[in-house]
Amino acid sequence: MDLDLGAVYNVAEVRVNGKDAGTHLLRPYRADITSLLQPGENDLEIAVTNLLANQLPGEGRKLGVIFNFPVHPPTLEPSGMVGPVRLLARARTSR
């Protein structure tokens, strides 16, 4: 079973039933969670971290100069987990 987080800005840390399912930095934000699932209810935790510029509103211009990333008008970049979040069944392979 794959967990597909859809659109995420920018880093997603995933835990299933208290076990690490990986830190995801790039698209596709997807994890094979088959071995972490148990019968019945399961606990899913997703922690999303966005850009540093969004953590310090109003400070983005100063950070852009210091860290040499493009400086935009004082607007926030997209952030968070936009989704859609889906569970995708894996196709069974015949042997």
- Sign of the Cα pseudo-torsion (38, 85, 15, 33, in order): positive
Does residue 32 fall inside a structural domain? yes
Q: pTM value?
A: 0.72
pLDDT in tens, 13-72: 999 999 999 999 999 999 999 999 999 999 999 999 887 766 665 554 555 555 555 555
**Structural domain count of the chain:** 1
Does residue 60 fall inside a structural domain? yes
Alpha carbon distance, N-terminus to C-terminus of the chain: 19
Burial of 49 (0-12, 13-18, 19+ CB in 10 A): middle
Does residue 11 fall inside a structural domain? yes
Does residue 31 fall inside a structural domain? yes
Beta carbons of 36 and 1 less than 8 angstroms apart: no
Q: Which of 87, 77, 69 is nearest to 8 (CA)?
A: 77
Does residue 94 fall inside a structural domain? no
Does residue 39 fall inside a structural domain? yes
Write out the residue range of the structural domain in which residue 59 sits. Answer: 2-88
